[in-house]
Amino acid sequence: MAKQVRIFQLAKKLGLRTEALLKVLAEMGLEDVSATSSIDIETAKAAAELLAEQAKEARKRAEEAAAAEVARLEAEAKAAQEAQEAAAEAQPAAAEEAPAEEAAEGAAETEEGAEAAAGEAEEPEAPARWAPAWAAPESLRTLEEQLAELEQELEEDDEPIFVPLPEEARRPKGERPDNATDVPPVVSVLGHVDHGKTTLLDALRETDVVDGEHGGITQHIGASEIELDDQKIVFVDTPGHAAFTQMRARGGQVADIVILVVAADDGVMPQTIEAIGHAKAADVPIIVAINKIDMPGADPSRVKQALLEYELVAEDFGGDTIMVPVSALKKEGLDNLLEMILLVAEVQELWADPDVSFTGVVVEAGMDDSRGPLSTVLVRNGEVKVGDVVLCGTTWGRIRRLNDWRGKSVKSMGPGHPVEVIGLSEVPQSGQVMTAVEGVKEARATAGDRGDALRDVAMEGNARASLKDLYRELGELTVKDLNLSLKADVWGSVQALEDALMDLNDQLDEIDINIISMGVGEVNESDVMLAVASEAIILGFHVGIADAAVRMAETEHVEIRTYEIIYEALEDIQAAMVGMLDPIFEERVIGHGRALRIFRISRIGVIAGSVITDGHAQRNAKMTVTRAGETVFEGTLQSLRRFENEARTVEAPNECGIATNDFRGWEEGDEMEFRADVEIPRNTTFKNTR
């Protein structure tokens, strides 16, 4: 499979707004893609080349504009000199020589000024309106260097840009050692929202998770086990909501088998297609569970037919994809589904080495008020025990407690099983690898080195000139910033919310969403202090707010919003983005009137006693006066009176006095049309986030 790169990651590498990159891809004929879509290396290289070409063209246009301006200045200087010389020749011969000398000196000064202006135009020290691209030559050179760097990286086959999970987080491969032990298959349940994934898992493991989910949507990733004929299966449930793309991808990457749940009464939907992509990218076998066969309008054959488009061919259609009709609600077809899972797992011959050092992958992580940082870890190799010192990314700790998937305390956990780890110093990020180390000193030192390296990379990235910054300098991009600080109960939700917000960010050019900080746990005083410094709004997802943070937020006027369902948060941010947009005004006809009687008052002028026939008239509105179908005046309504008082507006069918200093030739019967700039509502449509 050709190496792929996510569009938003490619844009980040280029220092470019994802929306701008999507426009470039659209010019190349790729219109049906989004920020999270993947493109192959050749397409990415072509996009980079096109961007470089556009940058060169922008520079060329700027140079041409600068040359034209230099020519204009020289022409003006020459014309000024010729005018001076002509004026000097026109003077009488008997005139004193002093004025002529002064004129010559003035012409010389003009010529020197033109030369100086030309020199400044050739090497400007500050941005100029007529030479915008010269305003930031270093930015353009930096952009070209980044494009060259990207092209080089894309060509290195052994170093792809997008590596979802480290190799040590994957299943062991190669020759099976003598001491290897069989491990249960890890099954990820993927599919579209509301197609019955969690209900299916509830039926298989005889739990009741759906009733506990907010809005009936699974918003976390969980790991659980079931046993069938002395054989165990590990299930990883993932959300179906559109915002949880990254969590679904992670579920597909740690899985040995993917169960693709498709509702028989709904068919293939956007997250269904995305799940197929995740499974194929991870090279994981797919079993299709055609759910809701008991519902009216259910048609499993139609689902099988639709899946043909995505190269999933059912066995009864002559293919090799196992498709099992089930009803999670009525618990029909579940035994057959489990048997198919075990059959596929048997073919894969899954194993692990229990004697090597512990290695696991973090499936989910969060913060508990009483227990501290928590992480659900899928053990890949070795055995993890209470008291082990472990390292995970930039965090470390000595394990105080281990819980199995039901929450029961255990002393150790072998390979192939999920376990909850308690005892880390901080909350690790989902998808990171957890390993056992010799002692606390080594763990602390390694975590510190990794943290320093990440900070260096972050500082280097901030120092690079981005194309967006260049556009800002050129005056071609005017955006407003919406700064947000994110807090959630688990890292997966933080990442999902970040991805969804970045998708919104790319849908509206005028607003730039900046994620100032992300974290897990309740909103605290530090979050509020950071929000004050960055003028940010705090978004909390499944978290509470500390009392001290509430008081500080009230004092500092910091807005804190908390949510239980992710699409409610996204809808609020959409509304905020629309509210930040600059209003659009359009000149429209607001009313008509007719002159009934003309009054001529010496100290005031001519007043047209009028009646407003429809709409309204307002002071300072644009006014057109017609007589017998011909326009006799166009100007501004300067004075509007109702009885003896000045009025701002007069509605139909009232009478009023109308006057303007620019027109005094009123006659009875004159028709008037009033126009004014009216604010037009912004009809901004966002892509569906549900």
Give yes or no: residues 208 and 315 share one domain: yes
* Measured distance CA(26)–CA(48) in Å, rounded: 14
Q: pLDDT > 90: what percent of the chain?
A: 17
pLDDT band at 88 (very low <50, low <70, confident <90, very high): low
Q: Is the pLDDT assigned to residue 99 strictly greater than 50?
A: no
Q: Is the CB of residue 581 less than 8 Å from the CB of residue 511? A: yes
**More confident site: 429 or 140:** 429
Give yes or no: residues 259 and 273 share one domain: yes
Mean pLDDT value of segment 557-563:
90
pLDDT at 146: 57
Is there a domain that residue 381 lies in?
yes
Give yes or no: residues 40 and 137 share one domain: yes
pLDDT band at 398 (very low <50, low <70, confident <90, very high): very high
Give yes or no: residues 218 and 199 share one domain: yes
Taking CA atoms, 427 is separated from 390, 418, 452, 488, 535, in Å, by 13, 17, 18, 12, 26
Q: Is the pLDDT assigned to residue 103 strictly greater than 50?
A: no
pLDDT at 686: 65
**More confident site: 176 or 91:** 176
Render pLDDT for 575-598 as a digit per residue (tens, 0 to 9).
Answer: 888 878 777 888 899 999 999 999
Token digits for 374?
């928590």
Is there a domain that residue 324 lies in?
yes
Is there a domain that residue 599 lies in?
yes
Is there a domain that residue 168 lies in?
no
Render pLDDT for 631-659 as a digit per residue (tens, 0 to 9).
Answer: 999 999 999 998 888 899 999 999 999 99
Q: What is the dihedral of CA 336, 341, 347, 353, to 10 degrees?
A: -150
Query: Residue 379 in 3-state DSSP?
Result: strand
Q: How many residues does the chain have?
A: 690
Render pLDDT for 204-254 as a digit per residue (tens, 0 to 9).
Answer: 777 544 444 433 333 334 577 887 777 888 887 664 333 334 444 455 567
Token digits for 154?
């894309």
Mean pLDDT value of segment 368-386:
86
Q: Is the pLDDT assigned to residue 316 strictly greater than 60?
A: yes
For the ranges 64-78, 100-114, 274-288, 523-537, which has the lowest average pLDDT?
100-114
Give the residue from 136, 159, 138, 163 showing the smallest Cα distance to 149. Answer: 159
Within 10 angstroms of residue 330's Cβ, the number of other Cβ atoms is: 12
Q: Is the pLDDT assigned to residue 294 strictly greater than 70?
A: yes
CA angle 563, 567, 573 (to 5 degrees): 80
Q: Is the CB of residue 427 less than 8 Å from the CB of residue 365? A: yes
- Which residues contact residue 207 at a Cβ distance below 8 angstroms, ignoring those fewer than 6 apart? 201, 224
**More confident site: 647 or 464:** 647
Give the residue from 420, 424, 402 showing the smallest Cα distance to 412. Answer: 402
Give yes or no: residues 562 and 590 share one domain: no
Q: Is the CB of residue 322 less than 8 Å from the CB of residue 287? A: yes
Output the domain CATH number for residue 537.
3.40.50.10050
DSSP assignments along 182-202, one per residue:
E-PPEEEEEE-TTSSHHHHHH
Give the residue from 156, 162, 146, 141 showing the smallest Cα distance to 16. Answer: 146
pLDDT at 137: 40
pLDDT at 247: 45
Range of the domain at 237: 182-351
**More confident site: 328 or 129:** 328
**More confident site: 145 or 466:** 145
Q: How buried is 686 (Cβ within 10 angstroms: 0-12 exposed, 13-18 middle, 19+ buried)? A: middle
* Measured distance CA(251)–CA(258) in Å, rounded: 9
Q: Cis (ω within 30 of 0) for the bond into 653? A: yes
Output the domain CATH number for residue 222.
3.40.50.300
Q: Is the CB of residue 153 less than 8 Å from the CB of residue 222? A: no
Q: Is the CB of residue 383 less than 8 Å from the CB of residue 414? A: yes
Give yes or no: residues 187 and 305 share one domain: yes
Q: Is the pLDDT assigned to residue 124 strictly greater than 50?
A: no
Within 10 angstroms of residue 529's Cβ, the number of other Cβ atoms is: 14
Give yes or no: residues 550 and 598 share one domain: no
* Measured distance CA(205)–CA(679) in Å, rounded: 58
Query: Residue 481 in 3-state DSSP?
Result: strand
Q: Is the pLDDT assigned to residue 132 strictly greater than 90?
A: no
Is there a domain that residue 685 lies in?
no
Is there a domain that residue 160 lies in?
no
End-to-end CA distance of the chain: 31
Q: Is the pLDDT assigned to residue 101 strictly greater than 50?
A: no
Query: Residue 368 in 3-state DSSP?
Result: strand
Mean pLDDT value of segment 92-116:
44
**More confident site: 297 or 398:** 398
For the ranges 127-131, 136-140, 175-179, 434-438, which has the lowest average pLDDT?
127-131
Give yes or no: residues 88 and 145 share one domain: yes
Q: pLDDT > 70: what percent of the chain?
A: 73
Instruction: State which amino acid sits at residue 23.
Output: K
Count: domains in the chain:
5
**More confident site: 559 or 9:** 559
Q: How far is CA 230 from the centre of its chain?
A: 46
Give the residue from 166, 167, 169, 173 showing the smallest Cα distance to 349. Answer: 173
Give the residue from 477, 509, 474 showing the smallest Cα distance to 59. Answer: 474
Q: Is the pLDDT assigned to residue 328 strictly greater than 90?
A: no
Of 331, 351, 371, the position where a domain reaches its end is: 351
Is there a domain that residue 408 lies in?
yes
For the ranges 45-54, 288-297, 369-378, 547-556, which has the lowest average pLDDT?
45-54
Give yes or no: residues 261 and 284 share one domain: yes
- Which residues contact residue 18 at a Cβ distance below 8 angstroms, ignoring those fewer than 6 apart? 7, 8, 11, 35, 502, 505, 506
Of 312, 327, 351, the position where a domain reaches its end is: 351
Q: Is the pLDDT assigned to residue 412 strictly greater than 80?
A: yes
Render pLDDT for 427-436 as a digit per residue (tens, 0 to 9).
Answer: 888 778 899 9
Mean pLDDT value of segment 598-619:
89
DSSP assignments along 59-85, one per residue:
HHHHHHHHHHHHHHHHHHHHHHHHHHH
Give yes or no: residues 188 and 328 share one domain: yes
Instruction: State which amino acid sits at residue 127.
Output: P
Of 333, 351, 369, the position where a domain reaches its end is: 351
pLDDT at 590: 94
* Measured distance CA(478)–CA(458) in Å, rounded: 25
Q: How far is CA 322 from the centre of its chain?
A: 36
Is there a domain that residue 171 lies in?
no
- Which residues contact residue 689 at a Cβ distance below 8 angstroms, ignoring those fewer than 6 apart? 242, 243, 500, 503, 504, 567, 570, 571, 574
Residue 57: in which H helix or E strand, if any?
helix 41-90
Give yes or no: residues 382 and 330 share one domain: no
pLDDT band at 526 (very low <50, low <70, confident <90, very high): confident
Query: Residue 247 in 3-state DSSP?
Result: helix
- Which residues contact residue 79 at a Cβ distance below 8 angstroms, ignoring those fewer than 6 apart? none
Token digits for 17?
């707004």
pLDDT at 386: 93
Q: Is the pLDDT assigned to residue 525 strictly greater than 80?
A: yes
pLDDT band at 567 (very low <50, low <70, confident <90, very high): confident
> What value does the mean pLDDT of the chain take?
76
pLDDT at 65: 79
Whole-model pTM above 0.75? Answer: no
DSSP assignments along 118-180, one per residue:
HHHHHS-SS--TT-GGGG-HHHHHHHHHHHHHHHHHHH-TTS-S--SS-GGGSPP-SSPPTT-
* Measured distance CA(241)–CA(690) in Å, rounded: 6
Give yes or no: residues 192 and 328 share one domain: yes
Q: Which residue has the tokens 């004092």?
A: 555
Q: Is the pLDDT assigned to residue 350 strictly greater than 80?
A: yes
Render pLDDT for 654-678 as a digit per residue (tens, 0 to 9).
Answer: 999 999 988 888 999 999 999 998 8
Q: Is the pLDDT assigned to residue 143 strictly greater than 90?
A: no
Q: Is the CB of residue 223 less than 8 Å from the CB of residue 418? A: yes
Range 109-131 burial, b when 16+ CB lie within 10 A, else e = ebbeebeebbeebeeeeeebeeb
